[in-house]
A and B are shown apart, each in its own frame.
Chain A
Amino acid sequence: MGKTISIIKMRKQENLIGYLFASPWLFGLIVLGFFPILMSFYFSFTNYNMVSAPKIIWFENYRILLTNDNLFWKSLGNTLYHVVIAVPLGIFVGLFLAFLLNSKIKGISIYRTLFYLPNVVSVVAMTLLWMWLFQPNFGLINQLLKPLYELFKMEPLGWYLDQDLSKLTLILMGLWTAGGSMVIYLAQMQDIPITLYESADIDGASWFKKMIHITLPLMTPSIFFNFIMGLIGSFQVFTIAYIMTGGGPSRSTYYYAYYLFDKMMNDNAMGMASAMAWILLVIVLIVTVFALRLNKYVFYLGEDS
């Protein structure tokens, strides 16, 4: 009997110690995470200029944003453009790199490190670097493309200074960090049982057949993961535009998060900015719920289907 009590006691004590160790994190979650989220929900129903006290105006912010704000739709459109192109392209390039680097040539770990390295660079530094590369007049990229321009007798591309190309330029630049997803693909690729390839070899399957019928299906979990993460991340695109283009030229890279930021910083409209944040949350939630339906096409190895 005495023994049981002491075990219960010990369990309790253990729990307590567990909470104690988790307390800094719990504190952060509640005070720095949960509280601001709740406050922003409250602010979204107010007119709050960050100096005077918030004044409750109920759904006015939402009404204005959805029915009488041209920039809201423009910035949402820009963001959707970014999502629709950047997410699939990022997956494609990440997969492509993973295929390339999933071989047993000499020094492969060096190559893998090299492709992963851009992810270690801060986004700000990366963006500044690419600004130099893409600079239309003396940037390295246009210098390299010069023979092509001359061949086709065309004007050099304006990249981020050309409003028709600016969004694509930012997407292209973002591909530089595809190494991040590549690592995940690589890990999964190397998880695929070698026996599957061996039996395919015995059946005389070609490299291409093996890729289509073994590698790709077994990689769907990581593709799916990167797809969902990419989706959520792309909706929040901000930093690259803030540094490289300032939302321009002519608002062509004025993304949703950028408009949200301006509402707060330039218009002193914290209430409106909070409402934008909640609208974005709803949009991302809806898109993610739809994206999760693709789960039925994902093949999990070792699971009964």
Chain B
Amino acid sequence: MKKFLSILLLGLLSLALYGCNDDTPTDRIEITFWHMSPVGSASFSDTRRIITEFNQSQDVYFVKGTGFSFWDYWDKIAVAISSRTAPDIGLSTIDDVPIRAEAGVLYNLSELIEADPDGIEIDQLYDSQLSFATYDGHLYALPFTATTRVLYYNLDMFTAAGLSADDVPTTWSELHTVAKQLDIVQGSSIQQLGFDPTYGNATYHGYLWQAGLDFFDEDLNPTLNTQGHIDVLQWMIDFNSEFTRSQLTAFGDANTMLGINPFAGERVAMMIEVDSLYQTIKEAGADFNFGVTSIPVPDDGGIRVNWGSGFSVEMYDNNKNTPDKKAGAWEFLKYLMSKDTQKDLSETNGWIMAHQGAMLEVAEGDAIMTRILEEVAYARDKVYVPYAPSWHGNDWQSYYNDALTGKKTAAQALADARANYLQKKANWEATR
């Protein structure tokens, strides 16, 4: 029995060891790459195929890809970077590249591009995204994907209300007029809503940008205390003033718990949402007619802008990488950023990739996708605020909520939010 057990143990051990073994050819330099397509995800096999194609294309380097789910990825990469065990090449968020560049954990890509000018088609990438990847005049990351926000509109609802695609609003006042024609109310309950500025993926800072305002000034001091800021927030609060806030929240939330977006659920005629909603609606096989357009802007001097973000692709400097590994990671980075691979990645993941030429080919013959791509050029990423990295999220949400529910006036909520940012800033500076 003892003997049997030890044989069994030995067998299990060797199996486990075999499992750890990967098929890196010993004569090649191994490059590690972290992505977000883990085993079992829909995009896993295509991602692996893309990596394998690179490995087959040459015989010096061998890329070993490791996938983590989107939800786990951020913790894993953050821990790996801080413990100096980051992969040679990986994905991250583009808006906080400077913090990593400053810490010296990223390779300066400008140097590599200078030495190998044909390696990357920089002119195919969006300037706004490149500026976010720049620190101290040098590129420390490249934009990998892009996101954008657009106004989705339900054409069937337009038709039912006697409107057409020509009536799709372009300004805030048009938006209000059209939205009211699309509201359907029975008794006191909302059956269909034209538009609500708080629904979907619309944000206060997005509207501020359109009005030529911002959360912070150039020195990252919170602004928020001007009449302009108050007016924009008030506009959001008052847009559907004939309904109570709890009515509006209830109507918007009713589908959300089921995981259905109110626009996709055909309850809202117009909504601001991210580009991926298009993919979601398509995959769900929705049978209603819809279109997308630019988010309407303020009537006087409104600016065409939307909040967009994206993943960055970065080469990590763990302070112990050999020049060979760095060169290998650069080779793979060039491959990832090439037009063909970018196109492939877009078709695999449904992402908008950073390479404009590749995306034009992906969107060919798809009117909605083409229209969405047009908006990417007007996308602006949120600024990275070191003392409040989550300024648009957690730090702002409770004040925003107080203003919407009427617990505080718009002016009061903004003043309180500003005070909070100022306190965070003072505390952050004290610990520098």
Smallest distance from the beta carbon of A137 to chain B beta carbons, Å? Answer: 4
Interface size of B as a range? 35 or more
**B427 lies within 8 A of A69 (CB):** yes
Chain B residues within 8 Å of A122, by CB: none
Per-residue CB contact flags for chain A residues 267-294 toward chain B (1 = under 8 Å, else 0) read: 1110110000000000000000000000
Cβ-based interface call for A112 (8 A) = no
Q: A60 and B430 in contact (CB under 8 A), knowing A250-B402, A268-B389?
A: yes
Choice from B82, B102, B394, B427 contacting A262 with Cβ under 8 Å: B394
| In the complex, chain A residues whose CB is within 8 Å of the CB of B78 | 50-51
Q: Are A68 and B389 in contact (CB under 8 A)?
A: no
Chain B residue contacts of A47, Cβ below 8 A: 431-432
Cβ-defined contact, B254 with A250, below 8 A = no
Instruction: Tell whether A64 is near chain B: CB-to-CB under 8 Å.
Output: yes
Is A90 an interface residue when CB atoms closer than 8 A count as contact?
Answer: no
Q: CA–CA, A137 to B244, complex, Å?
A: 14
Give complex CA distance A248, B249 in Å: 14
Contact of A248 among B79, B81, B388, B401 (CB under 8 A): B401
B367 near A: Cβ within 8 Å?
A: no
Q: Is the CB of A64 within 8 A of B103?
A: no
How many angstroms from the CA of A135 to the CA of B431 in the assembled complex?
42
Q: Contact partner of A51 among B100, B394, B397, B423, CB < 8 A?
A: B100
**Is B81 touching A136 in the complex (CB atoms < 8 A)?**
no
User: Which residues of A from 196 to 255 have beta carbons under 8 Å from B?
Assistant: 246-251, 254
Residues of A within 8 A of B105 (CB): 51
For window 31-71 of A, CB contacts with B under 8 Å fall at: 47, 49-52, 57, 60-61, 64, 68-71
The chain A residue with its CB closest to the CB of B250 is: A137
A21 within 8 A of B: no
User: How near does chain B come to A160, taking the closest CB pair, in angstroms?
Assistant: 12
- Give Cα A64–Cα B423 distance, bound, in whole angstroms: 10
Give every chain B residue within 8 A of A246 (Cβ-Cβ): 397
| Residue B407 is within 8 A (CB to CB) of chain A in the complex | yes
Tell me if A300 counts as interface (CB < 8 A to partner B): no
Q: Are B390 and A68 in contact (CB under 8 A)?
A: no
Query: Quick check: is B40 within 8 A (CB to CB) of the other chain?
Result: no
Known: A47-B432, A51-B105, A248-B397. A266 touches B389 (CB 8 A): yes
State whether A70 touches B431 (Cβ < 8 A).
no
Main secondary structure of the interface of A (DSSP, over half): loop
Verify B253–A267 contact, CB threshold 8 A: no
Query: Taking A69-B427, A70-B420, A250-B401 as contacts, is the C-beta distance between A262 and B390 under 8 angstroms?
Result: yes
B246 within 8 A of A: yes
Residues in B whose Cβ lies below 8 Å from that of A132 = 257
When the two chains form their complex, are residues B82 and A50 in contact, meaning their CB atoms are under 8 A apart?
yes
Q: Which of A138, A163, A269, A271 contacts B254 (CB 8 A)?
A: A138
- Is residue B393 within 8 Å, beta carbon to beta carbon, of the partner chain? yes
Instruction: Provide the bound-state CA to CA distance between A60 and B395, in Å.
Output: 22
A247 near B394 with CB under 8 A, answer yes
Inter-chain CA distance A271–B423, complex, in Å, is: 17
Question: Per a CB cutoff under 8 Å, which of A50, A70, A250 touches B423?
Answer: A70
Min Cβ gap B265→A in Å is 14
Tell me the minimal C-beta distance from A125 to chain B in angstroms.
15
B388 nearest in chain A by CB position: A267
Contact of B257 among A71, A135, A269 (CB under 8 A): A135
Instruction: Indicate if B99 sits at the interface (CB-CB under 8 A).
Output: yes
Bound-complex Cα distance A68 to B100 (A): 28
Q: Quick check: is A161 within 8 A (CB to CB) of the other chain?
A: yes
Q: CB of B405 within 8 A of chain A?
A: yes
B398 at interface by CB-CB < 8 Å: yes
Please report which residues of chain A, range 110-157, place their CB below 8 angstroms from some CB of chain B when the two chains form the complex. Answer: 131-132, 135-138
- Any B CB within 8 A of the CB of A77: no
The answer to whether B390 and A267 touch across the interface, beta carbons within 8 angstroms, is yes
Using A51-B82, A51-B103, A69-B423 as known contacts, say yes or no to A57 and B398 having CB atoms under 8 A apart. Answer: no
Chain A residues closer than 8 Å to B397, beta-carbon distance: 246, 248
Q: What distance in Å separates the Cβ of A24 from its nearest Cβ neighbour in chain B? A: 16
Tell yes or no: A158 within 8 A of B by CB: yes
Q: B residues within 8 A CB of A251? A: 398
Q: Which of B218-263 contact A (CB under 8 A)?
A: 246, 249-250, 253-254, 257
- Chain B nearest CB from A164 CB (Å) reads 10
Chain B nearest CB, measured from A21 CB (Å): 17
Q: How far is the CA of A166 from the CA of B282 in the complex (A)?
A: 38
Subset of 12 A-B contacts with CB under 8 Å: A47-B431, A47-B432, A51-B103, A51-B105, A60-B430, A132-B257, A135-B257, A247-B398, A248-B397, A250-B398, A266-B394, A267-B389
Other A-B pairs beyond A68-B426, A272-B431, 9, CB < 8 Å: A49-B103, A50-B82, A51-B99, A132-B257, A163-B407, A247-B398, A249-B398, A266-B389, A267-B390
Interface residues of chain A, those whose CB is within 8 Å of chain B, are 47, 49-52, 57, 60-61, 64, 68-71, 131-132, 135-138, 158, 161, 163, 246-251, 254, 262, 266-269, 271-272
